[in-house]
Amino acid sequence: MADRAHPRVRLRRRLARLAVAGVVALLLVSAPWAWTQITAQGHLYAESGAPVADVVIVLGTEVAADRSQPGDRLAGRLETAAALVHDRRARVILVSGDGGGASGDEPTVMTSYLTGLGVDPRRVVADPFGLDTYDSCARAREVYGVTRALIVTQSYHLSRAVTLCRRLGLDVDGVAARCAGCAATLLAEKAIRDYFASGKAAWDAVRRRPPAVRSPADPAVQDALRGS
């Protein structure tokens, strides 16, 4: 039988169905983000309250336009990691980024900047194949033998980083990085991007994808710890 309901009633029904579909879609999109937030609870710290670990992992991001200095976000991460070493909350820094990135060689820039902050270069190990957060976590464990670490990145990214590393078998605690030169609009933009990136993170974690670049075991972190 044809629907003889009043047009206004039919419209309300359609709107109600659309609202339900919208809520369901929002829940599906939000589930991976919620997973990262819940999993990271109890493992997130400010710099001043960070626990102690032998290794601190610094995640790479864009370098400055001159390709020799870090951008504001990367500088904040490196300054935080250097402070952790100077405060004896960590002994060795593993800088993990894209050695052939569009903005420049992230690990080389990171290493140089840390040296300028007074970190002994013998305490810095560079992974040029940390092409994304998942790869950085996977390679820290599989290639460099890291099982316990602090991980440093900005707060909008921290829960996802901690969750991925812990999912991959690293006992990590996250430390929120400084970001003195970062505009509020930039941080908001990155937070939105990270919200949607949680879907890929969940998919990578579920299927346990291998890192994009596979490498043999590298004793550099252990050697640096012995020498520190």
pLDDT digits (tens, 9 = 90+) for 23-62: 555 555 688 999 999 999 999 999 999 999 999 999 999 9
Residue 7: predicted pLDDT: 73
How far, in Å, CA of 42 to CA of 21, rounded?
34
Q: CB–CB of 74/151 below 8 Å? A: no
The residues, any chain, with a CB within 8 Å of residue 220's CB and separated by 6 or more, are: 125, 144
**C-alpha angle 211-214-218 in degrees, rounded to nearest 5:** 115
Instruction: Indicate the pTM of the whole model.
Output: 0.89
Tokens at 50, concatenated: 């960070």
Total length of the chain: 228
Secondary structure (3-state) at 105? coil
Average pLDDT over residues 66-91: 97
For CA atoms 107, 60, 187, 212, the dihedral sign is positive
Q: What is the mean pLDDT of residues 170-192?
A: 94
Does the pLDDT of residue 1 top 50, yes or no?
no
Task: Report whether pLDDT(22) > 70.
Answer: no
Backbone torsions φ then ψ of 222, nearest 5 degrees: -65, -40
Average pLDDT, the chain: 91
Sign of CA dihedral 214, 218, 222, 228: negative
Residue 103 pLDDT level (bands cut at 50, 70, 90): confident
Which tokens belong to 68? Answer: 């020799």
CA–CA dist 178, 194 (Å, integer): 18
Report the share of the chain in percent with pLDDT over 90: 81
Paired tokens of 201: 């993170």
Q: Per DSSP, which regions of the chain are E strands?
A: 44-45, 55-59, 92-96, 124-127, 148-153, 171-176
